[in-house]
Amino acid sequence: MKKAKKTTVKRRADTAMSNYIRERDNFVCYTCGVHGDKYSIDNGHLISRYWSATRFYEHNCKAQCKACNFLHENDPEIYKRKWIAEHGQDAFESMYAWSKHVVKATVEYYLETEKDYKEKLAELRVERL
């Protein structure tokens, strides 16, 4: 069997998590409250996906419409203020500090993450029946 490329499995893990977060949040934008679907709602990260330690941390993620997610990239304060009001400054500072930890993500890590989020999505769907 051919070995999976790290970038491919990373993208698949991102997709699996995104599908879970958007459905977990009922396709409702955390920032503006607009209702959407899997095509109009993104998985918005409070702390950028660039930081591996919090990339797949659910507490860092909320469903966002494409407009708010794009705006967040340029002006993160709206999302940040709302998140801090809901979860607290200490929780934000703790998550921010954790995001700077170095995480050596392997192909196996991404494959396990993809599997975990596919299972969580399946469980969520069963719970909602």
Does 79 fall in a domain?
yes
Does 122 fall in a domain?
no
Global model pTM greater than 0.85? yes
Print the domain residue range for 72: 6-109
Taking residues 51-60, report their average pLDDT.
Answer: 95
- Domain count across the chain: 1
Taking residues 106-118, report their average pLDDT.
Answer: 97
Is residue 17 packed enough to be buried (19+ CB in 10 Å), middle (13-18) or exposed (0-12)? Answer: buried
Closest CA relative to residue 21, chosen from 129, 127, 126, 124: 124
Does 80 fall in a domain?
yes
pLDDT in tens, 11-47: 999 999 999 999 999 999 999 999 999 999 999 999 9
